[in-house]
Amino acid sequence: MRINRLDLTRYGKFTDGVIDFGPPPVGSPDLHIIYGPNEAGKSTTSDAILDLIFGIGTTSRYGFLHPYPSMRIGANIRVAEQDREFVRIKRPQNSLLNDVEQILSDAVIRADLGGIDRNAFTTMFSLDDETLEEGGESILASKGDLGELLFSASAGLSDLSRQLLAIRGESDAFYRYRARSGALGELKARLQDLKQQREAIDLQASDFQRLVAERDRLSRLYDSAIAERAQTQKRIDEIRRILQTIPPMGRLSGLRLKLANLEVVPEPPESWRQELPQLKSKEIEYRIKLDDLSRSSALLEEETAALEADPVALKLAAGMDEFSELKARYLTAEKDIPKLSTRAAELSIEGSLLLLGRPGEASPSRLVLDAATVGTLRALIGSKSGVDARTAGAADELAKAERALAEEGVGFEEVDAIQSAERTKAFELLAATLKAQPRSEEELVFRSLSRRRDAASGALSEAMTRLLPWHGAVAELGTMACPSAATLENWKKLFKGYEEDLRSARTDLERLEPEARRLDAEIEALRRQAGEIDEATATASRISRDRAWTEHLQSMDAASADLFEAAMRADDRVLSQRLLHFAELGKLNQLLLRRATVGSDIQTALDSHGRAEAELEKVRSEVAEKVRDLSPDLRLAPDPQELEEWLRKKDAALKARDDLIAVEHDVADVRDRVTQAKRSLTEALKGVAVRFHTDADLAGLASAADEALAAFNRARARAMQMERLRKEVLERREALDIAERAAAEWAQHWKTTCEGCWLGELDYLPGVGSVTEILSTLEKLASAMEAKDGLIDRIQKMEKDKAQFEARVLELCNRLSIPADGSPSELAQTIVEKVRQAVLNQERLEKLERDLDTIRREEHDLRLEQELLEARAREMIEFFGVETLDEVEARTDLSGRRRELSRAIFELEQELVESSGASDIAGVEELIGAADKTELEEELARLTPVLEDQDLRCSEVFRDRSRAQDALDAIGGDSKVAEIEEQRRTTLLEIEDGARRYIELRAGVAAAEHGLRLYRDRHRSGMMARASSAFRTISRGAYQGVAAQPGKDGDVLIAVTAAGGSKAADELSKGARFQLYLALRVAGYHEFVENRVSVPFIADDIMETFDDFRAEEAFRLFAEMARHGQVIYLTHHRHLTDIARKVCPGVRLHDLDDVGATRLEVVAAE
C-alpha cells in the first residue's frame, strides 16, 4: 500500500487541500517530510490518513469548520498492485466511495493490511508521542506485544488478543475450576431439582378420577352461567344504546333547520378565507409604501444636487498619513529643541577637569583611560587589602607559635629519648599483649562453667529417662539408622488417609445396609399386593408369547394355536395387571432402581473398607519393621505418630549429650587460655622494665601493665606536642616570607601601571585612595562628553524635520488654493480639514447614489406586486358577482357557515349510526321512532340487579372450578413423570453439548496460544537483532542493543549498555526509553514487510526528546525503511528538515502553508 496523493477536501481546518506525494522514486528511499508550524494541521493530516483507511468515527473533533454531513477526504492509493481513487465521507455505513461516487467495501482499501484493525495499525505504523510510549510499554509488559500483532497480520486475523480473551471467557462461563457459578453448575442443579420433583409425585387413580369428574361438572356449570349472563348483558347494552341515541337526534333536527334557513351561495376555494384579509391589508400597505418611496427619492435628489466634489483634495487624501507623521515630528522638534539646547549647554566638563587637577587640559578625551588600564587598576585596588592582611596575619601567627614553643619547657634530648624506636616497640608489644588477654576473673569463669556442666549432665539424664522402655547407652543413639522426615511424613499421611477411608466406609455401610433392607421389604410388599408386574416378568411374558407365535407360524396346527392362545392370555393378564396397578408399577420400578443403586453403593463401600484395611496393615508392618531395625529392645506400637514422638525424644537426648561435651571443652579452653595469658603478660612487663610481684594473678599483672602504658602515653604525648610546635614555627616563618614577597610584587605592578598612563605625569606616585577617586571622576567625564555629543546630533535632526515640514505645508497650500497666512501648524490643520471634508463629501455622494438606485428598484417592484394584487381581487369579485372585497368577505363567511353546519350534521349522523349499531341514519330514525323511552327505562331497572346476581354466580362457580383444577394439577397426571424425564434427558444433552463445546474452545485457545508462541520464537532472533541494531544506531553506540530475560509474566526486554551493563526499560531516561520504543517499531516494520506487501509508516513529531545527533540516526533508519515502503514524518521543527536532507538527499518536503486553496483563521486540532 502507498499513498500517492491525499485530498483534504473538507476536513478540520483544511478546505480543498491537496498533498501530492508523487510516484514512488526509483532507486532512492520513499521518504517524505511534512512541515508546518504549530496549529498548521500536522496531527489533522495524520488522523485524516487513519480516518480515510478505517472510517470517520461517530464523533470527530475535526468537524469544527465543516459540519459532519459535508466532511470529505480523498486519496489516490496504490493497493493490491493497482492505483485507485478513494473518497471517504462522514456516514455510519457505506462511507467509502470511488471517484464516480459509487459505494465500495472497506475491504478494498484494506486489502494489503492483512486484517489489521485501527488500534493495531496505530500501535505499529502510525506513531505520535502518546502511541509511541503506550505501545512501547505494552510491548515491554508483554501485553498486546509486537509479536502478536505481527502474527495476526501475517495470518490475516484482527484483534487476536481480544478474540482469544473472549473465547476463554466463553469457556469459563460454562465451567471454571473452583468457581461457584457457571452454566454447568446450573444444569447440575436443574438435574437435582427434576429428581426431587419426580420422587415427590405419587399418583392415586381414584382421587384423580374424582377430581376430573368434579372439574368437568363445574366447567359445564360455569359455561351455562356465562351464557345466561351474556344474554342479560346484551339486552342491557341494547337498551342503553337506544336511550343514548334519543338526545342527539334532537340536536340533529335543529342543525338541519339552521342549514335550510341559510342563503345558498357559490362555494369558494378553502384558501380564500385566509387569503382575503391579506389582500386587503397588502392593498393599503402598497399604497403607503409607494408614497413614502416617492418622498424619499425627492429628498435624496435634492441632497445630491447640494454636494460638490473636490478632485485635487481627493488625490491628496492618500498621502495624509505621511503628512500627519511629518506634522508630529515638526511639533515634537518645535517643543524639544529648546529643552535639548538647554541640556547641552548645561553639560559642562570643566568641573570634572578641575577635580582631576588639570583645568587647562586642551584634549579632555586624552584623560579617559582605556578599559584594560582601568581594569588593571581596579584589580590592584581590590587585591591591596588582601595583600596587607596576609602579611600582618603571617607575622601574628609566627609570634604565637614561638611563644607556645618557649612555654613548653622540654628539652629536645628528652624528646628524642622518649620517641626512641626500641622503647616505643616494647610498649606497643605490652599494649597488644594486654589487649589480647581475657578481662574476666578466673574464679567467675570456672564457677559459671561448673554450673553449666552440672545443668547439662542433669538434662542428659532426664532425656535418657524419657526414652523408656528402651534401655541403652547414649553412644547407641548416634548409631541408629532412623527413617527420613519425608518417610515419616508419608507414613503419617497414608495412615491418616486410610483411617479416614476406613471410617467413611463404615459410615456408608451403617447408612446403606438398613436402607437396602427397607427397600427389599417395600418391594416384597408391592409384589404381594399387585403381583408380578415388574419389567422382568413383563419381558419374560412377552418373549414367551413371541416364541409361541413363532412356533405356531411354523406348525400351523391346533396344538401350537392353543399354546399361542395360552401365552397370549398370560401376556394379556400381565399387561392388564400392569395397567390396573399403573401407579404401583411406577413405584415398583423406582424402588427396584433405588435398590440397585443402594446395592452398588454397599459393594463400593465394602471394597473401600477392604482396601483401606489392607493398606493400613501394610503401613503398620513397615513401621514395625523400622522399629525393629532401630533396636531389638525397643517396644513401640506400629503407629507413625508414636514412632515420630520417640525419635524426637532421641534427638533431644543427643542434643543434651552434645551440650555436655561442649561445656567440658569450654572448661579446658578457659584453663589453657588463662595460663598462656599470664606467661605472655609477664614477658611483656619485663621488656619495658616494670616491676611486679611474681605470684600476682592475672588481674594484678593487667593493672600493672595499665599503669605503665598510661605513663608512657603521657610522656609520648608531650614529646609529640613539642615536635608539632617546632614544625609550626618553621611553617609560619616561611608563610611570612611569602607574604612579604607578594607585597613587594604588588607595589612594583602598581608603579608600572600608573607610569603607563597620564597618571605617570604627576609629581608623585598616587595612592590607592587617590586613584579610586580619579577613576570615579573619569567615568563622569566620559559620560558627560558622550551625552553632549548625542544631544547635539538630535538637535540637528530635529532642525531638518522642521524645514521639511514647512516646505511641504507651503506646497499643499498652493495646490489646494489655501492662503499661506498663519503658522505652519494652523495651515497644516486647514489642509487636513479640507482633504477630510472632500473625502466625506465624495463618500456621501456615492452613498446617496446607491440609496437612490435602491429606492427606484423598490418602487418598481412594489408597482408590479400592486398590479398582481388588483388582478387577484378582480377574480374574487367576479366569482361572487359583487363589486367590492367587503362583499366578497361577507359571501365567504356565509359559505363557511353553511360548510360548518353540513360537517356537523354529517359527523352527528355518523356518531348516531356507530352508537346505535344501525346500517345508516334511516335505520337510526326508524329505531328511535319505534322505541318507548319509559318502557325501556323500566326494563333496564329490572335487568340491572339480575346482571349483578349473575356476576356473583359466575364468580363462585369459577372459584370452585379453579380450586378443582388446582387440586388436579397438584396431583398431576400420568404424563407428568414423562415430562420430567424428558426435561432430565434434555438437560443431560445440554450438559453433553456444553462439555463438547468447552473442550473445543479450550483446545482451540491452547492451539492458538501455542501457534503464537511458535511464531514469536521463530521470529524472535531476527526481531531482536534488528531491534538491537536500530537501538545501537539511534543511541550512537551508548547502548549495544537489547536482550530478552525471563520474568514473572513472560520475557522482559533489557537494554544493554556499551560497557556491558544492563538496565530495565523503566530505569532508562525518557529520551532513551523513546529511542528503545522506536527501535522496536523499526524492527517490527522490517519483519512485516519481509512477508507481506509494504504499508505506509507515519510518525508525528516523535523526536521531541531526541538531540540532533540521535535525530540524524533516526532519519537514517527511516531512510532504510523507506527503501521497502513509504515513510511519512510530520514535524514543526525546521532544523529536522535540514537533518533529513543531510541523511537522505532525495527526501521530499511538503509545506502545510502551501496546502489547500482556502485559508481561514482557525486553530487546527493538534
Instruction: Write out pLDDT tens, residues 662-671.
Output: 888 877 777 7
- pLDDT at position 1166 is 31
Among 285, 307, 206, residue whose Cα is nearest residue 846: 307
- pLDDT at position 415 is 58
Q: Greater confidence, 585 or 1153? A: 1153
- pLDDT at position 1020 is 58
- pLDDT at position 1165 is 33
Write out the three cell numbers for 768: 590607592
ω into residue 632 within 30 of 0, thus cis?
no
Local confidence band at 919 (pLDDT 50, 70, 90 cut-offs): confident
Q: What is the mean predicted confidence (pLDDT) over 235-251?
A: 79
- pLDDT at position 808 is 76
pLDDT at 1160 over 90: no
Q: What is the mean predicted confidence (pLDDT) over 169-186?
A: 77
Q: Greater confidence, 950 or 678? A: 950
Q: Are strands 1148-1151 and 31-35 parallel, antiparallel or unpaired?
A: parallel
- pLDDT at position 138 is 64
Mean pLDDT check: name the lowest of 56-65, 498-507, 834-843. 834-843
Locate all alpha helices (DSSP H) within 409-484, ordered by sequence. 412-418, 421-436, 442-465, 474-479
Local confidence band at 575 (pLDDT 50, 70, 90 cut-offs): low
Whole-number average pLDDT of the chain: 78
Local confidence band at 1009 (pLDDT 50, 70, 90 cut-offs): confident
- pLDDT at position 534 is 63
- pLDDT at position 869 is 78
Q: What is the mean predicted confidence (pLDDT) over 573-577?
A: 66
pLDDT at 125 over 50: yes
Q: What is the mean predicted confidence (pLDDT) over 571-589?
A: 64
Among 1098, 1131, 1093, 1152, residue whose Cα is nearest residue 49: 1098
Q: Greater confidence, 459 or 1110? A: 1110
Report angle CA 1113, 1119, 1122 to the nearest 5 degrees.
145
Write out the three cell numbers for 439: 578481662
Q: How far apart are CA 695 and CA 680, in angstroms?
A: 15
Sequence-distant (≥ 6) Cβ neighbours of residue 33 within 8 angstroms: 1129, 1130, 1131, 1136, 1137, 1140, 1147, 1148, 1149, 1150
Q: What is the mean predicted confidence (pLDDT) over 863-869?
A: 81
pLDDT at 130 over 60: yes
> Model pTM?
0.36
Sheet with 1050-1057, strands from edge to edge, namely 1039-1047, 1050-1057, 1062-1064
- pLDDT at position 1157 is 42
DSSP 184-195: HHHHHHHHHHHH
Q: What is the mean predicted confidence (pLDDT) over 982-1007?
A: 83
- pLDDT at position 1018 is 61
N- to C-terminal Cα separation, the chain: 26
Q: What is the mean predicted confidence (pLDDT) over 55-66?
A: 90
Q: What is the mean predicted confidence (pLDDT) over 483-488?
A: 80
**Highest-confidence segment of 273-287, 1038-1052, 1079-1093, 1098-1112:** 1098-1112
- pLDDT at position 583 is 59
Q: How far apart are CA 1128 and CA 1105, in angstroms?
A: 19
Percent of the chain with pLDDT over 90: 10
Q: How far apart are CA 247 and CA 239, in angstroms?
A: 14
Local confidence band at 203 (pLDDT 50, 70, 90 cut-offs): very low
- pLDDT at position 949 is 85
User: Are residues 469 and 720 in contact, defined by beta-carbon separation less than 8 angstroms?
Assistant: no
Beta partners for 1151?
Answer: 35
pLDDT at 1080 over 80: yes
pLDDT at 1078 over 70: yes
pLDDT at 417 over 70: no
Beta partners for 1057?
Answer: 1039
Local confidence band at 504 (pLDDT 50, 70, 90 cut-offs): confident
Q: Are strands 1039-1047 and 1050-1057 parallel, antiparallel or unpaired?
A: antiparallel
Q: Can you list the domains of the chain with their CATH numbers?
A: 1-112+1100-1161 (3.40.50.300), 205-261+890-971 (no CATH), 399-443+696-742 (no CATH)
Sequence-distant (≥ 6) Cβ neighbours of residue 331 within 8 angstroms: 825
Beta partners for 1055?
Answer: 1042, 1063
Write out the three cell numbers for 984: 432430565
- pLDDT at position 973 is 52
